């Protein structure tokens, strides 16, 4: 999860909920992305976490540093949280998730018009940060990491990605 400060000239804070099924399929369960203050997006992320009985919140820390965790902890000090840091280019990070979509291994359990429009419209290197896609890529990457022979799937079954600075 990364975030902006909620001012009018900032991007949204992407909040996407996803889960995994034993057959290595990912399921997008919700898009709770908000354009609001840090306190309000933290409360929204935690409400989504509780609604979907999540295992942890995953937050990107590249741009906001400790901002994500600090805001989450103000709302709920006991929230399970995992920081992630981008070490590769944004488009490169999204490629494995894109291939899972092509293989029919990612499913949306409802329609998410804003997320799906962003997925269709975003052109790498152009325009504003697609924060919904950012969050989607982070959570699905944690749930469905690139396959390596003999490597088991992660033990957790759900997660939340919150992002404000990753592009695909």
CATH number, domain containing residue 48 = 3.30.420.240
On whether residue 135 sits in a domain, the answer given is yes
Q: pTM score > 0.85 for this model?
A: no
* Number of domains, the chain: 1
**DSSP bridge partners of 59:** 83, 162
Query: Cβ(136)–Cβ(166) under 8 Å?
Result: no
On whether residue 1 sits in a domain, the answer given is no
On whether residue 144 sits in a domain, the answer given is yes
pLDDT tens for each residue of 11-40: 789 999 999 987 789 999 999 999 999 999
On whether residue 27 sits in a domain, the answer given is yes
On whether residue 103 sits in a domain, the answer given is yes
On whether residue 7 sits in a domain, the answer given is no
Query: Cβ(71)–Cβ(36) under 8 Å?
Result: no
On whether residue 6 sits in a domain, the answer given is no
On whether residue 4 sits in a domain, the answer given is no
pLDDT tens for each residue of 48-107: 999 999 999 999 887 666 889 999 999 999 999 999 988 877 788 888 999 999 999 999
| Cα-to-chain-centroid distance, residue 13 | 10
Q: Which residue segment(s) compose the domain that 34 sits in?
A: 14-163
Query: Cβ(37)–Cβ(6) under 8 Å?
Result: yes
Q: What is the DSSP letter of 8?
A: T
User: What does the DSSP assignment read for 119-161?
Assistant: HHH--TTSSS--HHHHHHHHHHHHHSPPP-TTPPPPS--EEEE
């Amino acid at each position: 999860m990364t975030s902006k400060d909620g001012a009018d000239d900032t991007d949204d804070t992407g909040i996407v909920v996803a889960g995994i099924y034993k057959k290595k399929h990912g399921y997008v369960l919700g898009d709770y992305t908000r354009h609001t203050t840090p306190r309000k997006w933290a409360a929204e992320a935690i409400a989504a976490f509780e609604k979907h009985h999540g295992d942890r919140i995953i937050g990107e820390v590249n741009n906001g540093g400790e901002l994500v965790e600090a805001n989450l902890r103000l709302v709920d000090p006991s929230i399970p949280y995992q920081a992630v840091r981008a070490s590769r280019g944004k488009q490169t990070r999204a490629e494995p998730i894109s291939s899972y979509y092509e293989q029919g291994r990612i499913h949306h359990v409802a329609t998410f018009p804003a997320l799906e429009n962003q997925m269709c419209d975003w052109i790498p290197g152009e325009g504003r940060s697609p924060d919904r896609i950012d969050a989607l890529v982070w959570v699905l990457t944690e749930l469905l990491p690139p396959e390596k022979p003999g490597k088991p799937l992660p033990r957790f079954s759900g997660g939340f990605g919150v992002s404000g600075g990753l592009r695909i």
